[in-house]
Chains A and B, each alone.
Chain A
Amino acid sequence: MPAMLGLSLDVWATMLFCVVAFFGVSIWVLFYTLRQEDKKLALIETDGDLDTYSPRALRDLRHWIEAHPNPAHPDVQTARTLYNDCVNTLKATDRHFYDWSAAEIESLDTI
């Protein structure tokens, strides 16, 4: 073990980077995503439904729907349903998975 102390600074720096950027991120992400799943399941159990898009993601979805007015497009109806379901859920539930403000929810309309 004393030989370890003789390792150069760049070796220590690389090992530290690996521990933080790989092991640290992996473990943190694992717990973070498992906690998120618990939160989703709790919301489904208590509220019976779950908001499916974050504010930014829902804006993107709306832009996509507006850019594809052709009803013959294979995914337009699906996109409208997803959008409307999310809006309806946000309006019908008190607690949300994503950080939605009351003003943001108020400003939403179905398509």
Chain B
Amino acid sequence: MSDSTVELSRAQWGSRFGFLMAMLGAMVGAGNIWRFPYVTGESGGGAFILAYFVLLLILAIPGLIAEVGFGRYAGQGVIGAFREGVSSRGLVGLGVVVLVVNVALMSYYSPVVGWTLYYAVHALMGTFTAGGFEPAAFWDGFRASAALTIGTHTATMALVGAVLYLGIRRGVERLVIYAVPGLVLALVAITIRALTLEGAADGLAFTFGVDWSKLALGQTWITALGQVLFSTGLGWGIALTVGSYLPDYDDIPIGGGVFTVIGNSSVGILAAFAIFPIVFAFDLDPASGASLTFVSLPQVFPQMAGGLLWALLFFVGFFFAAFTSAILITEVSVTTLSEETAFSREQTVVVVCGAIWLLGIPSAYWPTVFGFLDFVFGNFGLPLATLAIIGAIGWALGPERLRVLEINRNAGLYVPSVWNPLVRYVIPLVMLGIVANYAWANFGTPQMIGGVAVFVGVPVFGYALMSFLEGRRDRLAEDEAR
């Protein structure tokens, strides 16, 4: 099969807007809505935002440009991309690392999307504004019911599978071009209402007040680093996969880098404007994370004029944020496995979604399993995937090669050579530093042991697996050639 036939047979984004919304939809998730505003307020407000902004510019934007560029350069999913980028058979196993981390991440993220689905459906039914509604009892009842938690997890994976089954253009793109603007519009509408509440100013003062002394604290910068690297989804394989569907004439630095990073952060800032004035106007605890969303805010909507509408906008928007991320996280495995196996894309969707559904049942049922996996894969697995991708670009493929051949081709923004050391040295060192910090802070705990086991064990597994499979593949190719 000729190269041109391969290219023609692979789907591409139908429009620039579709690609941009896919990147944004993938990166904007639950964390933007409940975590970012709180972390900002706790870590120095304006001073934290400044630190965060600087790190976005020097780490997240260059990193995402590299990952999207690698995806388009290879024109394949994660394992195929590593095959293009590294010279050793075993190192192709770094693609397996990214795949394992994505599947594990999605296995416990799907139940969370299920929570948002459950609340979105109840918002549509008007449950939160009905008389006698008890938010805490409603939440506890939901979490205690295996039928509901596993049922919503099942519904989530069925919906994810349905969208992915339709393909990149008819499924993913068609969803994100409506869902992402819908989320932003919902947050804008809530912001307008929230800013007119009595006491809203306290929420703004909490989030945006400036404590310059926090800039001198190492912890502020570590927190900002964590927020930058985790909220932008750098190195998870999503940007690589989305980039692999990017047409040749399209730009990478602006769409894949600047817009994705600043747009994603803008949603976090917008959430701060939308949610925290409500939190302070109704005297809620800003540090309560998930329960802020599922227990505290539902108390507030009935007290607001037009509460049914605001609850609907908030929970449907929240579901969109979580669901679009779930779609793109799962797409990483679907793209890769449909290329690496004899299954069609449709068969792969069924297999991948079925496997994630099965693996996600323990997280849906037992909160302790969910908490353990979230800690292990959130703090060790995701940085490992980032190290695998950025390490492969920086040390195997070479950043200069990627920059001149792919990133600056048809670019809307010239990427200078100063980008090379950022990708080769700075991002990997920062990721290693973050992992070491987590390991040190939780030294000896089961979570830390589990995290280190993942950090060491998954690459060894990937290396051994791909050494075997690639060797077999080469032998088969030689036999065919003879």
- The chain A residues found within 8 Å of chain B, CB to CB, are 1, 3-4, 6-8, 10-11, 13-15, 17-18, 21-23, 25-26, 29-30, 32-34, 36-37, 40, 44, 50, 52-54, 56-57, 60-61, 63-64, 75, 78-79, 82
Which residues of chain B come closer than 8 Å to A23, judged between CB atoms? 266, 269-270
Q: How many CB-defined contacts (below 8 Å) exist between A and B?
A: 122
B410 touches A52 (CB 8 A): yes
Neighbouring A residues of B53 by C-beta, 8 Å: 21
Give residues 106-143 of B contacting A (CB, 8 Å). none
Q: Are A37 and B16 in contact (CB under 8 A)?
A: yes
A18 to B272, CA, bound (A): 11
- Closest residue to A23 on the B side, CB-wise? B266
Q: Decide: A22 and B404 in contact? CB cutoff 8 A.
A: no
- Inter-chain CA distance A23–B198, complex, in Å, is 25
Q: Name the CB-closest residue of B to A11.
A: B208
- Whether A60 contacts B417 by the Cβ 8 Å rule is yes
Cβ B16 vs Cβ A34 within 8 A: yes
Q: Which residues of A lie under 8 Å from residue B258 when comparing CB positions?
A: 25, 29
* Contact status A18-B412, CB under 8 Å: no
* B17:A11 contact, CB within 8 angstroms: no
Interface residue tally for chain B (C-beta within 8 Å)? 44
Given A33-B251, A53-B409, do A22 and B414 touch, yes or no (CB 8 Å)? no
Whose C-beta in chain B lies nearest to the C-beta of A19?
A: B269
CB–CB A64/B400 < 8 A:
yes
Check if B403 sits within 8 Å of A60, measured CB to CB: yes
User: B469 within 8 Å of A by Cβ?
Assistant: no
Q: Given the complex, which residues of B lie within 8 Å of A75, measured CB to CB? A: 401, 405
Question: In the complex, are the beta carbons of B411 and A34 less than 8 A apart?
Answer: no
Check B46 for interface membership: any CB of A closer than 8 A: yes
Q: Which of B196, B209, B409, B411 contacts A82 (CB under 8 A)?
A: B409
A7 CB contacts on chain B under 8 angstroms: 201, 204-205
Residue of A nearest to B270 (CB): A23
**Cβ-defined contact, A17 with B49, below 8 A:** yes
Cα-based distance from A76 to B346 in the complex (angstroms): 37
A56's partner among B200, B400, B414 (CB-CB below 8 A) is B414
Q: Among residues 14 to 69 in chain B, which have CB atoms less than 8 Å away from a CB atom of chain A?
A: 16-17, 20, 45-46, 49-50, 53
CB distance from B381 to the nearest CB of A (A): 29
Residue among A4, A22, A57 making CB contact with B269, cutoff 8 Å: A22
Verify B46–A60 contact, CB threshold 8 A. Answer: no
Q: Which of B195, B259, B417 contacts A33 (CB 8 A)?
A: B259
Other 9 A-B pairs with CB < 8 A, given A23-B266, A64-B404: A13-B46, A22-B265, A33-B259, A37-B250, A37-B251, A52-B409, A54-B414, A61-B404, A82-B405
- The 7 residue pairs across chains A and B that have the minimum distance between CB atoms: A14-B46, A57-B408, A10-B210, A3-B201, A14-B208, A22-B266, A37-B16
Smallest beta-carbon distance A17→chain B, Å: 7
Q: Are A33 and B412 in contact (CB under 8 A)?
A: yes
Q: Please give the distance in Å from A95's CB to the nearest CB on chain B.
A: 15
Please give the distance in Å from A100's CB to the nearest CB on chain B.
Answer: 14
Q: Is B440 part of the binding interface, using a Cβ–Cβ cutoff of 8 Å?
A: no
Determine how close the nearest CB of chain B comes to the CB of A39; give it in whole angstroms.
Answer: 10
CB distance from B3 to the nearest CB of A (A): 10
B20 touches A30 (CB 8 A): yes
Question: 13 A-B contacts, Cβ less than 8 Å apart?
Answer: A6-B201, A10-B209, A13-B46, A14-B208, A18-B208, A22-B265, A22-B269, A36-B254, A40-B410, A52-B249, A52-B410, A82-B405, A82-B409
**Highest count of chain A CB atoms <10 Å: which of B195, B199, B265:** B265
Q: A34-B17, A37-B250 are in contact. Are A57 and B208 (CB under 8 A)?
A: no
Please determine whether A26 and B266 come into contact, CB atoms closer than 8 angstroms: yes
Residue of B nearest to A86 (CB): B409
From A33, which residue of chain B is reached at the shortest CB distance?
Answer: B254
Write the nearest CB–CB distance from A70 to chain B, whole angstroms: 13
Q: Which of B50, B250, B263 contacts A30 (CB 8 A)?
A: B263
Partner of A26, one of B262, B401, B411: B262
B255 at the interface (CB under 8 A from A): yes
B7 to chain A, nearest CB (A): 13
**Smallest CB gap from A79: residue in B:** B405
Chain A contacts for B196, CB-based, 8 A: 1
Q: Is B199 a contact of A3 with CB atoms below 8 Å?
A: yes
The residues of A that contact B50 with a CB separation of less than 8 Å are 17
Contacts of A14 in B (CB 8 A): 45-46, 49, 208-210
In the complex, what's the smallest C-beta–C-beta distance from A40 to chain B, in angstroms?
6
A13 vs B265: C-alpha distance in the bound complex, in angstroms? 18
Give the shortest distance, in Å, between A33 (CB) and chain B (any CB).
Answer: 5
Which of B17, B46, B200: most chain A Cβ within 10 A? B46
Q: How far is the CA of A33 from the CA of B404 in the complex (A)?
A: 20
CA separation between A108 and B249, bound complex, in Å? 22
- Name A60's closest neighbour in chain B (CB-CB): B404
Q: How far is the CA of A61 from the CA of B200 in the complex (A)?
A: 54
A30 in contact with B259 given A1-B196, A15-B204 (CB within 8 Å): yes
Q: How many Å lie between the Cα of A75 and that of B20 in the bound state?
A: 28
- Across-interface contacts of B199 in A (CB, < 8 A): 3
Central interface residue in B53, B205, B266, by most chain A CB within 10 Å: B266
**A4 pairs with B200, CB closer than 8 A:** yes
**Are B209 and A57 in contact, with the CB atoms below 8 A?**
no
Task: Tell me which residues from 188 to 220 in chain B have a Cβ below 8 Å from any Cβ of chain A.
Answer: 195-196, 198-201, 204-205, 208-210
- Closest CB in chain B relative to A81 CB, distance in Å: 11
Name the B residues within 8 Å of A53 (CB-CB). 408-409
